[in-house]
Amino acid sequence: MIMSHSIKAALLSAFVFPGAGHLFLKKYISALGLSGAAFSVAYFLTTTMVERVLQITEKIQSGQVPLDVASINELVSVQSSGADAQALNIATIIFIVIWLVGIADSYRVGRKPG
């Protein structure tokens, strides 16, 4: 079975990273834009989550929070509210939208003749 360029590009964008399909199609500026945007949002999400984990770990190590699942779960739930949580939710939605746009656009560009 021969797979078309549009399908290959869409699959690369879906399963590797946004912009990978554009890179396959030699659309370097689009690939850079999508990859850069997705990387920026992923960086924000990762650093924010690592900061939260480090704060929780610090509280556990200092003895402020007992080392049991219920206490840790409660602490995570408390930290998952407020403006910071809203920023994480918005960033997650933006990341998903970038990923879906990358898939759809790489398929669209791959279907163009020439």
Q: Over pLDDT 70: what percentage of the chain?
A: 97
R_g of the chain, CA atoms, integer Å? 20
pLDDT of residue 114: 63
Whether the model clears a pTM of 0.75, i.e. scores above it, the answer is: yes
Q: Higher confidence at residue 69 or residue 45? A: 45
Q: How far is residue 107's CA from residue 16's CA, in Å, rounded to a whole number?
A: 15
Structure tokens at 37: 């945007």
Question: Given a cut of 80, is residue 30 above it in pLDDT?
Answer: yes
pLDDT of residue 82: 72
Question: Given a cut of 90, is residue 7 above it in pLDDT?
Answer: yes
Instruction: Please compute the mean of the pLDDT values over residues 93-99 and round it to a whole number.
Output: 98
Q: Where are the domains of the chain?
A: 5-111
